[in-house]
Amino acid sequence: MIIAIGGGIAVSMVIIALDRLYFFPNIPQLAQLQAPEFSRWIGLTTIFYGGIVEELQVRLGLMTFCVWLFYRLLGKKTSSWMFMIAILLTSLLFGLLHLPATAQALGELSPMIVLRGIVLNSLGGLLFGWLYWKKGLEYAMIAHLTADLMLHVIFS
């Protein structure tokens, strides 16, 4: 449990630091973006969607499907590389699937904004995928809940 909570806190800190130190100076729209009147209660509800629904869809659904597909196509034995490729693919997809929300918040999707959306969201996906592989779905869910709590409630 400590690794999931600690991992969620750590990945949220890396996301915040990378955003503040690299993306904010390179994306002028971020500095001009007004923080919406966002209730912490609304932020609290989003952690359950991310931590439960997204983990069921992306890790349990898509990541498991990728590993199963590798298993079926490449020889009836699972290997570490199958899980690593599945984690990378689903993390990138996780980042891509967050682009509509990014477009809604910023209006226009420049290459730098797309890079920001993919990188920042994929970082969490890497951790959550690794935890799912090594510890189980509940650890990925707890890490995702923790990261979203940090990002959408505590530091919002």
What's the pTM?
0.89
Model pLDDT, residue 38: 59
Q: Which tokens hold the place of 45?
A: 């509800």
What backbone torsions phi and psi does residue 70 show, to the nearest 5 degrees?
-60, -45
CA nearest neighbour of 105 among 34, 37, 53: 34
| C-alpha span between 25 and 140 (Å, rounded) | 31
Per-residue pLDDT of the chain (156 residues; tens, 9 = 90+): 899 999 999 999 999 999 999 998 988 877 766 555 556 777 788 888 889 999 999 999 999 999 999 999 997 888 899 999 999 999 999 999 989 988 887 778 889 999 999 999 999 999 999 999 999 999 999 999 999 999 988 887
Check if the beta carbon of residue 21 is closer than 8 Å to that of residue 112: no
